[in-house]
Amino acid sequence: MKKALFILMSTFLMMGVLAACGTAPDEKENAGRNGEEKKVLTMGTSADYPPFEYVETAKSDEIIGFDVDLANLIAKELGYEVEIKDMDFNGLIGAIQADRVDFVMAGMTPTEERKKSVDFSDVYYTAKHMIVSAKDSNIKTIEDLEGKTVGVQLSSIQEGKAEEIGETVKIKVEKRTRIPELVQEIKAGRIDAAIIEDTVAEGYFKNNPDIAGFTIEDGSDEEAGSAIAFPKDSKLTEEFNKVLKEKMENGEVEKLVIKWFGGEK
């Protein structure tokens, strides 16, 4: 009887030791600042938009860029870590609504239509629209687009700009999910031009000397401002916005602008 009791107690003791060994690593992995549980946020993006977010495939498969650095800068201040999920731009709002991501940074403009579905931070970067075409296309003005096929990224603010142009100039609009597709369509002669944010277009000019562009300066052009998108009524909106304002005021955001865009806004 004593022998059986000893064996039973030994078994329970061993189970307790194994359980402790099994849980210790998990607790360590989940430990954050001051022993608190690590807080990880998923950032949705479309990594086809240099220098905001992109992959230097020749070097690694890591997503890098201005938005990535800014997201990490803000998140670190708040005690969060950031994991990035790449997807098509037109699926980002849906990903927020379906709780697949905690926030989105993808050079996204806070339009009134998007505000019906998500909340936004303050604008952290502004740019303008650019008409991009083959260098030998002789497309130098909006009027030169008459009768031409113009590409835009699906669900982007440039879609709206194309509709606006179409009110005065007859154009055919083609939509693609990614910016590199638009560039390749121009190079292949399948579309005549594309509307792309100027900062992003400049990045593509460096690697594609056979394309060029001009900035739309018509007085009515709305600047394409970038902001962070969050689920409706998320506590993250206020948290991120507070830190974003601080980082913009103390010059840290400007340092990232200079790093990624090569100059001031």
The band of 99, judged by pLDDT with boundaries at 50, 70 and 90, is: very high
Higher pLDDT, 6 or 168: 168
CA dihedral 235, 238, 242, 245 (to 10 degrees): 130
Higher pLDDT, 32 or 76: 76
Question: How many residues are present in the chain?
Answer: 265
Does residue 252 carry a pLDDT above 70? yes
Please give the Cα distance from 110 to 58 (Å, whole number).
33
Token digits for 49?
């938009």
Record: fold of 33-126+225-261: D-Maltodextrin-Binding Protein; domain 2 (3.40.190)
Average pLDDT over residues 165-176: 96
Query: Under CATH, which number does the domain 129-222 receive?
Result: 3.40.190.10
**Considering the chain, what is the average pLDDT of its residues?**
86
Whether pTM exceeds 0.85:
no
Higher pLDDT, 91 or 28: 91
Residue found by looking up tokens 């980002």 in the block: 92
The band of 218, judged by pLDDT with boundaries at 50, 70 and 90, is: low
Phi, psi of 177 (to 5 degrees): -80, -25
pLDDT in the model for residue 11: 47
Q: 2-60: per-residue pLDDT in tens? A: 444 444 444 444 444 444 444 333 333 333 334 445 599 999 999 999 999 999 988 99
Does residue 89 carry a pLDDT above 60? yes
Domain with CATH 3.40.190.10 in the chain: 33-126+225-261, 129-222
